[in-house]
């Protein structure tokens, strides 16, 4: 039985194909979306969103003992080129009752800037299931900002901290692009 071996021409075609296939990700009309979907490394761009961020003004330490915590909401603009504007930051208690509006006037954050809002440790009004709801907008499509709540508390000589990340609950989605574009 004769063995079939690829010749120089076959290797030349394989080399050209290996170079051209990755370039299709940069073709207009959906090439980027295809590459994005295949790799799963996509960045969704938005012009506005509403974000829910869990916060905990107190936590259970033991069955009958609750420990108060300070909750700091931190909002990060992670886009390197587009400014974002916070239009509202509201704090709700565990029943869904709005307790406080932190933003009186829109706050614009430049690329990579951050803004924080504090619920002090002695504020027990939020309860164990408190949360922040914030809205932001941008004049052009941007990578969604990062919203996190950092909680800190202590009992006796021991202290603890933990964080929760926001969840987008409403958005004006513009497109998806491969990460890095």
Residue 32: per-residue pLDDT: 45
> For residue range 11-65, what is the model confidence (pLDDT) as tens digits?
444 444 444 444 444 444 444 445 566 666 678 899 999 999 999 988 887 777 8
Residue 127: per-residue pLDDT: 87
- The Cα–Cα gap between 49 and 136 comes to 6
> For residue range 67-122, what is the model confidence (pLDDT) as tens digits?
889 999 999 999 999 999 999 999 999 999 999 999 999 999 999 999 999 999 98
Query: What CATH architecture does domain 42-178 belong to?
Result: Sandwich (2.60)
Residue 179: per-residue pLDDT: 61
- The Cα–Cα gap between 175 and 105 comes to 29
Residue 167: per-residue pLDDT: 97
Q: What are the residue ranges spanned by the domains of the chain?
A: 8-39, 42-178
Q: Label residue 173 by pLDDT band (50, 70, 90).
A: confident
What contacts 88, CB < 8 A, 6 or more positions away? 101, 103, 133, 134, 135
Residue 30: per-residue pLDDT: 44
Question: What percent of the residues of the chain are helix, what percent strand, and what percent coil, each to the nearest 5?
Answer: 15, 50, 35
Residue 11: per-residue pLDDT: 45
Looking at the predicted structure, is the pLDDT value of residue 165 above 90?
yes
End-to-end CA distance of the chain: 52
* Among 56, 63, 71, 79, residue whose Cα is nearest residue 129: 56
What contacts 45, CB < 8 A, 6 or more positions away? 141, 142, 143, 173, 174, 175, 176, 177
Residue 101: per-residue pLDDT: 97
- The Cα–Cα gap between 161 and 83 comes to 30
Residue 180: per-residue pLDDT: 62
Strand, helix or coil for residue 23: helix
- The Cα–Cα gap between 173 and 142 comes to 10
């Amino acid at each position: 039985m004769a063995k079939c071996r690829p010749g120089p021409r076959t290797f030349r075609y394989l080399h050209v194909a290996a170079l051209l296939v990755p370039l299709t990700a940069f073709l207009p009309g959906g090439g980027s979306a295809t590459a994005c979907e295949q790799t799963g490394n996509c960045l969704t761009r938005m012009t506005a969103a509403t974000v829910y961020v869990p916060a905990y003004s107190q936590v259970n330490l033991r069955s009958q003992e609750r420990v108060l915590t300070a909750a700091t909401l931190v909002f990060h603009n992670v886009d390197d080129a587009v400014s974002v504007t916070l239009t509202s930051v509201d704090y709700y208690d565990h029943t869904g009752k709005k307790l406080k509006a932190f933003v009186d006037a829109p706050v614009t954050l430049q690329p990579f800037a951050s803004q924080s809002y504090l619920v002090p440790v002695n504020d027990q009004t939020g309860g164990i299931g408190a949360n922040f709801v914030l809205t932001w907008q941008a004049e052009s499509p941007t990578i969604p900002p990062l919203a996190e709540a950092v909680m800190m508390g202590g009992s006796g000589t021991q202290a603890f901290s933990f964080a929760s990340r926001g969840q987008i609950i409403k958005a004006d989605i513009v497109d998806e692009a491969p990460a890095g574009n």
